Amino acid sequence: MHWVELALIFLATVAAMELFAYVMHRWVMHGPGWFLHESHHRVRHGLFELNDLYGVIFALPSIALLWLGIRGGWGDATAAVGAGIAGYGAIYFGFHDWIVHRRLPHRIVPKSAYFKRIVQAHRLHHVVESKHGTVSFGFLWAPPIDVLNAQLRESKDAVLRAPSVQD
């Protein structure tokens, strides 16, 4: 395959992963998978939280597709999909874990309207104490902040928590 086609497959996979992440976050992590994800909505004590297992779980298809594409004879397109999943994971870690949740020290201050909206939307996601009534399940895209605030005000399930130092 031509490198342009592989780049397009990679980019399409990264974009598709945002939809996949939204679905998983909204209906699995805030549903039957809450037993792992709940740790992410609490103050973290230590370097890791139980929710980090989702990163391991979601890395497995990427690793398998990369291996099958490179060593297993499934072709470059398979490897490009695996790389796209890994690329999304790297973006997620850099944005979500490092910048938003400050799991690594940094001095990055959001300046663009997009960056400010994504960070604020994720903070609004975390103001709800339980798995019910929260807003903004995407990681790279979020509705406008006024829409999210209105959803929180209108929600009968949203039990808002007090901010913590970690936030």
Q: What are phi and psi of 160, to 5 degrees?
A: -75, 145
Can you tell me the mean pLDDT for 83-97? 95
Residue 19 included in any domain = yes
**Residue 73 in this model has a pLDDT that exceeds 70:** yes
What pLDDT does 28 receive? Answer: 97
What pLDDT does 155 receive? Answer: 84
What pLDDT does 129 receive? Answer: 79
The more confidently predicted of residues 158 and 85 is: 85
Q: Tokens 């949203």 label which residue?
A: 158
**Residue 133 in this model has a pLDDT that exceeds 80:** yes
3-state secondary structure 88-143: HHHHHHHHHHHHHCCCCCCCCCCCCHHHHHHHHHHHHHCCECCCCCCCCCCCCCCC
Residue 163 included in any domain = no
Q: Residue 54 is part of which domain span?
A: 3-154
Measured between alpha carbons, how far is 63 from 166 in angstroms, rounded to an integer? 32
Residue 166 included in any domain = no
Question: Please, which pLDDT band fits residue 128 given cuts at 50, 70 and 90?
Answer: confident
Residue 165 included in any domain = no
Can you tell me the mean pLDDT for 6-12? 98
Residue 162 included in any domain = no
**Residue 89 in this model has a pLDDT that exceeds 60:** yes
Residue 167 included in any domain = no
**Residue 157 in this model has a pLDDT that exceeds 90:** no
Residue 16 included in any domain = yes
- Which residue in 95, 137, 135 sits closest to 119, CA to CA? 95
3 state SS of 58: helix
Contact 86, 59 (CB under 8 A): yes
Can you tell me the mean pLDDT for 145-152? 93
Q: What is the pTM of this model?
A: 0.88
Residue 32 included in any domain = yes
